[in-house]
Amino acid sequence: MKISLGNINSKFDGFAGLSQLYNLIDSCKDRTCEVDMSCVSWMDANMCAPLGAVLYRYALDNNIILPGLNRKLELLLQRNGFLPNFGFDREKKEDVSKTTIEYKRFDNNELSSFKNYVASHFVGKGIPDMSRQLHRRFRESISEIFENAAFHSLTTDGIFACGQYFPQDFRLDFSIADLGIGISRNIQEKLGLFVDDENAIVWATSGENTTRQIEDGKPGGLGLKLLKEFITLNGGTLQIVSYTGYWRFDHGNFITKRLPSPFPGTVVNIEINTADTQSYCLTSELNADDIF
């Protein structure tokens, strides 16, 4: 079976294209599936996380072929380490520009490895100046997204991550994807609430709701709340996809849409505005004499 893939950007259309790709692959009865890349003239490298998730499950028992890669895209996927995961005999290229965040699959119990991955790959990629305490909390917030995927999704396929710094576009994008049960089903199974996929994301991102119990005196769900607050001030964007639900948050507001076909799990994409020259700290670090 041969499936054509178009451009893959960090927008609704990009996620819709990957969702459609999954459903076509899922219907493939052949042992070999060709994902024709000849029409892909552009790909946001962070989208390797959901793309890798889509291809991973089928590739366990079947052959995935990616013909038609143009040279520019092939070099990109060599630099971030994506190609060797899908049968390409290509050694990883050195990332001279230091703009890639490596494509990587983690097992659910590899939180420590994920934390080290974030700590090493986020250095020197345009993140606005933060106090040491906020920087630690910021990284903890990203790690909580990983923990949510490991805790909530019940995935047995692992968790996928990838990112890219776009210095000319003044943005840093980082995506985390899983192939789990999705947000709406998790809410249904944990709390008995029946909500559609879009409203399930709204519920989960409200800052007041969580299906996680308090652990070590700290309730779950605080990581995404901090990220939303930072993204609002920074002028960045948060996007979440879960099955047919699509949620986008920027400038303090959110929109939801329904994907034409379901993505087989959940994706969180964080887009940081690297043109931001402000310095940030936690409000708890401020003195009464500080000027806001």
When comparing pLDDT for 287 and 132, which is higher? Answer: 132
Average pLDDT across the chain, whole number: 89
- Write the CB contacts of 175 (distance below 8 Å, at least 6 apart in sequence): 10, 46, 47, 48, 49, 50, 161, 162, 163, 267, 268, 269, 270
Check: CB of residue 138 under 8 Å from CB of residue 226.
yes
Check: CB of residue 259 under 8 Å from CB of residue 16.
yes
Taking the C-alpha atoms of residue 14 and residue 44, their distance in angstroms, rounded to an integer, is 9
The predicted structure's pLDDT at residue 215:
46
Among 191, 176, 31, residue whose Cα is nearest residue 106: 176
Per DSSP, the residues of 220-286 read TTHHHHHHHHHHHHHT-EEEEEEEEEEEEEETTEEEEEEEEEEEEEEEEEEEEETT---EE--GGG-
290 has a pLDDT exceeding 80? no
pLDDT (mean) for 41-47: 95
Encoded amino acid at 47, one letter: M
289 has a pLDDT exceeding 70? no
pTM of the model: 0.92
- The SS3 call for residue 58 is helix
Encoded amino acid at 10, one letter: S
171 has a pLDDT exceeding 90? yes
Check: CB of residue 121 under 8 Å from CB of residue 104.
no
Centre a 10 Å sphere on the Cβ of residue 96 and count the other Cβ atoms it contains: 7
Band (pLDDT 50/70/90 cuts) for residue 58 is confident
287 has a pLDDT exceeding 60? no
Question: Which residue ranges make up each domain of the chain?
Answer: 2-285
What is the topology classification, in CATH, of domain 2-285? Heat Shock Protein 90 (3.30.565)
The predicted structure's pLDDT at residue 216:
45
pLDDT (mean) for 116-140: 93
Band (pLDDT 50/70/90 cuts) for residue 275 is very high
The predicted structure's pLDDT at residue 156:
92
Among the ranges given (186-195, 229-238, 256-265), the one the predictor scored with the smallest mean pLDDT: 186-195
Element of type H or E holding 92: none
Long-range contacts of 75-82 (CB under 8 A, 24+ apart): 76/43, 76/45, 76/100, 77/45, 77/48, 80/45, 80/48, 80/162, 80/164, 82/48, 82/52, 82/162
Check: CB of residue 101 under 8 Å from CB of residue 49.
no
Taking the C-alpha atoms of residue 51 and residue 41, their distance in angstroms, rounded to an integer, is 16
Band (pLDDT 50/70/90 cuts) for residue 292 is very low
